[in-house]
Amino acid sequence: ALVHSGHAQYTKFPEGFTFGVATAAHQIEGSWNVSGKTENVWDHLSHNRPWMIADGTNGDVACDSYNRYQEDVDELAYMGVDFYRLSLSWARILPTGRMDVINPDGIRYYNALFDALAEKKIEPLVTLFHWDLPQSLQDLGGWANPKMIDYFRDYADVCFREFGDKVKSWITLNEPYEICEDAYGDDKKAPAIDSHGVGNYLCSDTLLKAHAEVYHLYNDTYRPIQNGRIMISINSIWYEPSDPENAEQVALAEVANQFKFGWFANPIFTEEGGYPVVMVENIAEQSKAEGLNKPRLEQFDEYWIERIKGTSDFLGINHYTTHLITGPGVDSLAKHPSWLKDIGAVVSLDVGRDSASEWLRVVPTGFANLLRWCKSTYNDVPIYITENGFSDRGAIEDYDRIRYYNDYLSEILNVIYDDDVKVLGYTAWTLMDNFEWRAGFSERFGLYHVDITDPNLPRTPKLSAEYYKQLCETKEIPQDERFKDPAVS
């Protein structure tokens, strides 16, 4: 497995390691108001506050995958992926958000998609919730409303019942941090509630309980007959000390990682369960200083600690980037009160190469450090990388993206072979350029280019699609000259 090309580098993935690519319903489907689908929070935001989307685009048509799914499947088959990670549109399946109306066209669409995948022997990995909450449920408070636990469970029940014969791998939630912090504690994602330091923690209380109920529903009722698996995908911005010799920064980076990744991983993947101790303590202290009579983050009671613990068959990790911690204090971007202020550290993005996304810095070694940390913090849990990818402005000869994949994939091999971290599979974000949330189509993560100025939305494989095809075929990181940027020696 060792190739000596200047420096030692592993290139070959272990037997059984699988590769896939990911998308999400709202980012690709379009057909936002046809065949029974109702408005979701992203439709609502992009229609009512279009200035909040960088290029004024929206998900009305997106990549038109509602009509062009066969093209998507053909591209997946061309690359030879083992699996396709996609998400279901809640408002397409349940137009009221509740289970009283089941939309036959929605059910038909996903069945057709699963059949097309089966035809090409591509396994579906299905996310129940990738941010597109029915607006009707947001009108009732969305994830800040504890009743959402029942609504999410009911929606999952319908999905398991309708699709469980074809779908054997499920993800409950995509990136709980982004849902709670960006959408309820800030205005970075829809519904942009911006209840900083309050709504974000109400959300996590509901979201973790809702996740656990869906896990137990699957585990108790569906797993015995459907024999599948179910997990959660947690995003990490990995934090490292700006100066690794500085003990205070090292300690603060650990605090930041507990606030970011641990917020949702600790309750599910540790022996003790519940939120990380440092989160509970910091927030209790700050809340008291603010004059509150109880902490803004409520710890789970014994019942819920037990109910949430162990509710994921694997740890799904979405990873893109690493940021630095430069010292203690209140970050210049921190609102009062807020999650960022609760951490009590100053963050810097002055690290690595850049991308088209302000937040995405290229720091491959941070990925290895994150994976080693997950192994030791979460008891050697088996891991799937459920997203990893790079943004540019849409180049077809996308050498920067290939270099990103090359370097991040190499770090996975390093931790598999040198540190015995159990990484079982890898998912590239994303199949094709798509509606990148508030960035619209201005930041592009696709292996395929999509020309949104042409009504036929033609898809063109980028060089990275050829790279990924070779990776899927050989299970080896491609070393071909044609994938090396001629401008970089």
Compute the CA torsion angle 338, 339, 342, 345 (nearest 10 deg).
-110
**Taking the complex as a whole, how short is the minimal distance between the CB of residue 178 and ligand PNW, in angstroms?**
5
In whole angstroms, the minimum distance from the beta carbon of 176 to ligand PNW comes to 11
**β-strand partners of 19:** 426
Q: Which residues contact 145 (CB under 8 A, 6 or more apart)?
A: 137, 206
- Site membership for ligand PNW, residue 127 (CB under 6 A): no
Segment contacting ligand PNW by CB under 6 A, of 148-156, 273-281, 317-325, 375-383: 317-325
Residue length of the chain:
489
3-state secondary structure of 53: coil
Residue 361 Cβ vs ligand PNW, minimum distance, rounded to whole Å: 10
Among 64, 175, 205, 433, binds ligand PNW (CB under 6 A): 175
Among 74, 161, 359, 485, binds ligand PNW (CB under 6 A): 359
The neighbour count for residue 21, using CB atoms within 10 Å, is 29
Contact 229, 316 (CB under 8 A): no
* Binding-site size, ligand PNW (CB under 6 A): 14
Other beta carbons within 10 Å of 158: 17
CB of 8 to ligand PNW, least distance (A): 30
Please pick, among 175, 240, 387, 443, the residue that the annotation labels catalytic. 387
Distance CA 277, CA 263 (A): 10
Does the annotation count 436 as an active-site position?
A: no
Q: Which residues pair with 318 in a beta bridge?
A: 235, 387
Neighbour tally for 487: CB within 10 Å: 6
**Min separation Cβ 90 and ligand PNW, Å:** 15
- Distance between CA 145 and CA 348 in Å, rounded? 34
What stretches of 49-174 show up as alpha helix (H) in DSSP? 65-79, 90-93, 104-119, 135-138, 148-163
> Is the Cβ of residue 307 or residue 403 nearer to ligand PNW in the bound state?
403
* Residues 149 and 209: beta-carbon distance below 8 Å: yes
321 near ligand PNW, rule: CB under 6 A? yes
Residue 301 CB, nearest distance to ligand PNW (Å)? Answer: 31
Q: Could you tell me if 57 and 99 are in contact, meaning their C-beta atoms sit under 8 angstroms apart?
A: no
Verify binding: residue 358, ligand PNW, rule CB under 6 A.
no
Give min distance, CB of 124 to ligand PNW, in A. 17
CA atoms of 215 and 171, how far apart (whole Å): 10
**Can residue 320 be called a binding residue for ligand PNW (CB under 6 A)?**
yes
Site stretch for ligand PNW (CB under 6 A), options 108-116, 173-181, 325-333, 398-406: 173-181
Nearest to 185 by CA among 343, 311, 346: 343
Scanning 90-98, 315-323, 361-369, 469-477 for contacts with ligand PNW by CB under 6 A, the matching segment is: 315-323
| Candidate list 46, 204, 318, 355; residue touching ligand PNW; CB under 6 A | 318
For tokens 């993800």, what's the residue? 171
- The yes or no reply on residue 29 touching ligand PNW (CB under 6 A) is no
Residue 235 binding ligand PNW, by CB under 6 A: yes
> In the numeric block, which tokens belong to residue 86?
């996609």
Q: Report the residue from 40, 174, 206, 377 that binds ligand PNW according to the rule CB under 6 A.
A: 174
| Tally of CA atoms within 13 A in the half-sphere of 432 that contains its CB | 27
Closest to 237 (Cα-Cα) out of 334, 352, 317: 317
Comparing CB distances to ligand PNW, the nearer of 258 and 318 is 318
The window from 46-54, 99-107, 211-219, 314-322 that contacts ligand PNW (CB under 6 A) reads 314-322
Q: Which is nearer to ligand PNW, 156 or 432 (CB)?
A: 432
- Residue 436 touches ligand PNW, criterion: CB under 6 A: yes
Could you say whether residue 178 binds ligand PNW (CB under 6 A)? yes
Give the residue, chosen from 21, 24, 159, 423, that forms a contact with ligand PNW under the rule CB under 6 A. 24
**Site residues for ligand PNW per CB under 6 A:** 24, 174-175, 178, 235, 237, 318, 320-321, 359, 387, 429, 436, 445
Enzyme catalytic residues: 387
